[in-house]
Amino acid sequence: MKRMYLGVALLVVFLIWTATAQEPAPQSGPRGYYLVHSNIEGAAVSFDTYFQGAIQQGTLLVPVYPSGPYFTTYTVQKDGYESYTASIPRFPGKGETVDLYATLVPLSSQQGSIYAVSDPPGAAIYLNGKFQGTSPLSIQDVPTGINTVEAILGSYSPCLTQVSVFAGRQAVVNCQLEAIIGPGTVSVTSDPAGARVFMDGLSKGTTPLAITGVAPSDHIIEVDMEGFFGWTTVVRVKSGAVNTVNAVLKPVADTPTGWIQVDSIPSGADIYLNGAFLGTTPGQGSFTIDRAPVGDHVITLRLNGYEPLNVPVTVLPAQIATVNGVLKAAQNLTTGSVSVASSPQGADLYIDNQLRGITPATIGDVQPGDHSILVRKQGYQDASISLSIPGGRTTEVTIPMVPLPAATTAAAGPLFALIAAVFAGIVLFRKIS
């Protein structure tokens, strides 16, 4: 029992010591003072972690004693303001007053701003579904957090962006608007009329001819007529516009040829003559196309990472035409891709008359627009379709193939008759024997 009383007594002593240690006890004797100055009435003043009082009429006088405690920092704070903490420079001597200063700054507003621009400018800007004005535009008093900005302009696809807004700061939204691409028309005439027209290798009809629904892009137009040289050009189709082509055909007196020498910067580009792949440009010298038919042609140069280059060239009899292609690096070129399967598989795959692989195959870097897809396999009829390939995604297609007709019975008949005759002879020989 005595031990229990002793333990309780020790616990009481410990609690009293802990309570008294939490707060410095008032001292007596000579003392000095800290005079705390602040611009905010009612702000709380603490030395280290000990509360000393509140600012009244701009100041608070705090007495201190030589015996301590010795404080190192002071803090002045009030709701709605940023807290101010600084070091106490020195301890005051007897009867001395040390001035301490604290200027409180209001917390930043709980709103920010947005600066919205668009390319092209003049787009209507909506913030969280509400119209604000046209770009470029500065929007003030925007709530903090995630906000939705939408830019809308005429014949461009809307641009929808989510942006984080922070208190007292400005967020910048740059909307790159993409034009809504619509088809154009190619009007083809020829002298003489009645010539066959091909676009990107696909037959379209005879002149005079209007080809509608053509995707905005570069397209190869070929005009052919019996007894005349072929005529080829590249037409750049614009959205919603009528693009006119007039082919003046030259009669064929004989069939002379010439040469085309092709090089490119950089080298290694694939060379196509009127859509047919011929080879690649060498690192040194030129690639020579022998026996090129006299007339107008189009040389196409393709290299990964660069925009395709179409160069019109005219071949004269027994003369050399040169093509020096400087390729331009692709910049935000939105191409598509096509995944082609055939039934059966293993067929040669041609896109716009260019061999691109063996089915099944996925071909990338395809310019948006209409393209001819052809598959070819031994023992089967060629199968082709016209396919519109959009930019930015993969178009899938499966092309069924029809087997070629079996060998004719006229060829099999004599062989069958010969076998039958031999068999009959063997039977007759056995009967005679």
Domains annotated for the chain, with CATH where assigned, are 27-106 (2.60.40.10), 111-176 (2.60.40.1120), 184-248 (2.60.40.1120), 257-326 (2.60.40.10), 336-400 (2.60.40.1120)
pLDDT of residue 108: 58
**How high is the pLDDT of residue 1?**
52
Q: State how far the Cα of 270 lies from the Cα of 162, in Å rounded to an integer.
A: 43
pLDDT at residue number 374? 93
Positions of the chain with pLDDT lower than 50, given as ranges: 17, 19-26, 408-413, 416-417, 420-425, 427-429, 431-433
Specify burial of residue 134 (Cβ count, 10 A radius: 0-12, 13-18, 19+): middle
Which amino acid is it at 244?
T
Residue 416 backbone dihedrals phi, psi, to 5 degrees: -65, -40
* CA 373 to centroid of chain Cα atoms: 26
Close Cβ partners of 232 (under 8 Å, ≥ 6 residues apart):
220, 221, 222, 223, 274, 295, 296, 297, 298, 312
Can you give the pLDDT at residue 251? 82
User: What DSSP designation does 21 have?
Assistant: H
Give pLDDT, residue 23. Answer: 44
pLDDT at position 429 is 44
- Radius of gyration (Cα) for the chain, nearest Å? 44
